[in-house]
């Protein structure tokens, strides 16, 4: 196993800079997910760690050894791609063993490693089959098995579950997490799927347009997003945003004209009168009895999902669109008016121009 360190890593294609100084340390045995929308640079970052892309500036180290000039084969990493990249004419056994045969490893050792990996991945009964006789999930397990037998220092995953259907993705997420817990190999996982990142990663690295927006545990990123971008990207449905203003010596926030919300800890210093962006997650609206709340949502549409209900509407008579997530099943008619409150500790404040988080 090994740690992976990126220090001020930049990547340019011609005059276009696509990675703008990524710095982070991935600890020995840690599972880190690189998360972001399409085109943010996450796969490019992974390919630089693998040695498939030459870095423009900066330093990448694996197990405290700088690998900038090392070929991919010399970095002691194994990569699982989005497509399975299996040899269709070879059996599962031969697909998993091929890399070891190229390295001229003894046959007994090859068989031992392949059989051990097959046992871990529950592929033992499929070793004589060819890829076309396997399901999508089984093929992806073969691709992972091919990496496991190499016993690398680092696993690199480039959106390995994106070709699977929804049910298989859930199953494979659990298998990946169990695999990591059993093997303890340092892993870097690229995805645009926040559910994958939140459930698999010990920590998340969130990218936007090649910049690191935030690095932290899934709960840290969810509960204390460092920017408006992170707040809107993490969480489903997405966070609600409103134009607002800090008032009363930083003790309250005003939005939607006359609506005032108290702020946690009593104040936001040095921001009185400042125009900001107020963020509220859909699940943090609390519907109350009529007269108990000073704010109201007028219902436009209701989605009943079974375990919870999504209410889409707008605030009072204005056009401030809002989505509310309520536990259990609720039946609200279109046009119904729902009073609500917001717990002060669930309020998020962001700078209107820069988008960075305000307050503690």
According to DSSP, residue 63 is labeled T
Buried/exposed 26-52: b ≥16 CB within 10 Å, e otherwise: beebbbbbbbbeeebbbbbbbbbbbbe
For residue 297, with 0-12 CB atoms within 10 Å meaning exposed, 13-18 middle and 19 or more buried, which class applies? buried
Domain borders along the chain are: 4-232, 237-351
pLDDT given for residue 214 in this prediction: 97
CATH code: domain 237-351 is: 2.40.50.140
Task: Output the pTM of the full model.
Answer: 0.89
Distance CA 161, CA 157 (A): 9
Beta 203-208 vs 31-35: how paired, if at all? parallel
pLDDT given for residue 319 in this prediction: 64
Question: How many separate helices (H) and strands (E) can be counted in the chain?
Answer: 8, 20
CB 313 within 8 A of CB 357: no
pLDDT given for residue 61 in this prediction: 96
Angle formed by the axes of helices 92-102 and 107-120, nearest 10°: 130
- Summarised one tens digit per residue, pLDDT across range 153-168 is 999 999 988 878 888 8
Structure-token pair, residue 274 = 């400042």
Structure-token pair, residue 298 = 């007028």
Distance, C-alpha 290 to centroid of its chain: 39
CB 200 within 8 A of CB 218: no
The mean pLDDT values, 10 residues at a time, for the chain of 360 residues are 93 94 95 95 95 95 94 91 87 93 92 92 92 90 90 91 83 86 92 93 96 96 96 93 87 78 71 88 88 78 92 78 91 89 90 87
pLDDT given for residue 161 in this prediction: 86
Please say whether the structural domain 4-232 has been given the CATH code 3.40.50.720.
Answer: no
């Amino acid at each position: 196993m090994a740690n992976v360190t990126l220090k001020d890593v930049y990547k340019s294609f011609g005059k276009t800079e696509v990675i703008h100084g990524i710095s982070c340390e991935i600890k020995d045995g840690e599972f880190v997910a690189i998360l972001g929308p399409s085109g943010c640079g996450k796969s490019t970052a992974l390919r630089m760690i693998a040695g498939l892309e030459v870095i423009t500036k900066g330093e990448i180290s694996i197990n405290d050894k700088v690998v900038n000039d090392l070929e991919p084969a010399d970095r002691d990493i194994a990569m699982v791609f989005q497509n399975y990249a299996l040899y269709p004419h070879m059996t599962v056994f031969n697909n998993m063993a091929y890399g070891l045969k190229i390295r001229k490893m003894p046959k007994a050792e090859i068989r031992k490693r392949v059989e051990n990996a097959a046992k871990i991945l529950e592929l033992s009964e499929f070793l004589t089959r060819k890829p076309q006789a396997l399901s999508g999930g089984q093929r992806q397990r073969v691709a992972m098995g091919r990496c496991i037998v190499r016993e690398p220092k680092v696993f690199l995953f480039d959106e390995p579950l994106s070709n699977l259907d929804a049910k298989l993705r859930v199953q494979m997420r659990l298998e990946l997490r169990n695999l990591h817990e059993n093997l303890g190999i340092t892993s870097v996982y690229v995805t645009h799927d926040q559910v994958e990142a939140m459930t698999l990663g010990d920590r998340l690295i969130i990218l936007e347009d090649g910049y690191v927006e935030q690095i932290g545990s899934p709960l840290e990123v969810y509960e204390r997003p460092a920017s408006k971008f992170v707040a809107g990207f993490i969480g489903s449905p997405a966070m609600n945003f409103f134009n607002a203003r800090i008032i009363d010596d930083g003790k309250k926030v005003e939005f939607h004209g006359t609506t005032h919300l108290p702020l946690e800890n009593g104040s936001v210093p040095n921001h009185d009168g400042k125009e900001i962006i107020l963020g509220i997650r859909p699940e943090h609206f609390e519907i109350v009895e009529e007269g108990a709340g000073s704010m109201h949502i007028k219902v436009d549409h209701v989605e009943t999902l079974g375990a919870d209900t999504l209410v889409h509407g707008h605030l009072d008579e204005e056009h401030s669109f809002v989505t509310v997530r309520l536990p259990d099943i609720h039946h609200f008619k279109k046009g119904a008016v729902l009073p609500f409150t917001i717990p002060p500790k669930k309020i998020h404040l962001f700078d209107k121009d820069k988008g960075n988080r305000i307050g503690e």
